[in-house]
Amino acid sequence: MTTPWTSLLASTTLSSPVPATAVIPLPSLAVLMLTGPESMKFLQGQTTTDFREVEKGLVRRGAVCSLKGRVLFSFIAVPLDENVALVLPTDQLEAALSHLKKYAVFAKTQLSDASATVALASIAGPDAKVRVTDLFGQVPATEQVVRTAAGWAIRIGQEPRFLLGLSPEMLGARWPVLSASAAAESLWWSAEIRAGLATVFAATRDRFQPQELNFHAIDAVSYNKGCYTGQEVVARLYFRGKLKQRLYVLEGKARELPENAGVFAGDDHVGDIVMSARDGDTLRLLAVVKNTAARDSELTLGEHGDVLTVGSLPYALPTDKEE
């Protein structure tokens, strides 16, 4: 896939050491664009997200589920007037387009791959607000989007961390300066992991329910929005069941992540890895782990492997819904 980043990254040397305020190209993320007057209405009937809130201008995360209530792909929904940009993994883009187009036949919306016209990047660090203001004239409030001819920007969480969708023209004009503080994409994923914000890549497609990814704690699941595919299963777990496992932040000192590695407590496999990123000497993970094991056992990466510690989450969870 050719994107605005393709040629630029080939000729860019990443900063070392990592700058305090970093510009992070995000080639592993893509944009699925929905345009047309019924884009919000269409997504309201297809996702876990309450798109009535997106229609009011709020940025929301969410997911599209299978009939069994498992997440096929996750996204960040960015409202652009009546249109919507869904930011999702590049390796999920084709499947997401194919899936949604099957149901969009009778809706006044057009779905397209916007990867060639939107360059995704993040700016993070103590001077991030200054950098974003320089590009867009202002800083978006939490859950809000700022738009100019340059593209759009949203704020991620409470840290000075922003996700940008830049036009190729703006990227080309500004990259000679921005590239001086360019950093590896792993910096973005490490921050997402610390924030407890899961992304479902192709490797974990159709494996987890939204609540197991803590989506109910970050406004990525609505229980009063009405029907969507998998809604009955998702709602039943909330109203009648209890979570046996959920998303945890884990940290360890392993030098590498073995292929198909899992989380173990002694000889028992107790969790599956959703995302991983290296931050210096630390390996950070998001993993769906059995609650009893996370509370009561020493966790390791693989059977009797490197010890993993459970980190804190920056949001509250309804523990009365857990076993």
Task: Say what the pLDDT of residue 122 is.
Answer: 96
Q: Residue 2's pLDDT is what?
A: 66
pLDDT, tens digit, 9 for 90 and up, residues 36-76:
999 999 999 999 999 999 999 999 999 999 999 999 999 99
- Residue 110, Cα to own-chain centre: how many angstroms? 23
Q: What is the DSSP letter of 21?
A: S
CA gap 107, 30 in Å, rounded: 23
The CA distance from 191 to 73, in Å, is: 20
Are β-strands 151-155 and 145-148 bridged in parallel, bridged antiparallel, or unpaired? Answer: antiparallel
**Segments of the chain scoring below 50 in pLDDT:** none
CA distance 233 to 69: 5
Give the per-residue pLDDT at 170.
Answer: 87
Residues 6+ apart with CB under 8 A from 163: 26, 76, 87, 120, 121, 122, 153, 154, 156
Its pTM stands at 0.95
Inter-residue contact 190 to 161 (CB < 8 Å): no
Residue 1's pLDDT is: 64
Map out the domains of the chain with their CATH numbers. Answer: 16-194 (3.30.1360.120), 244-311 (2.40.30.110)
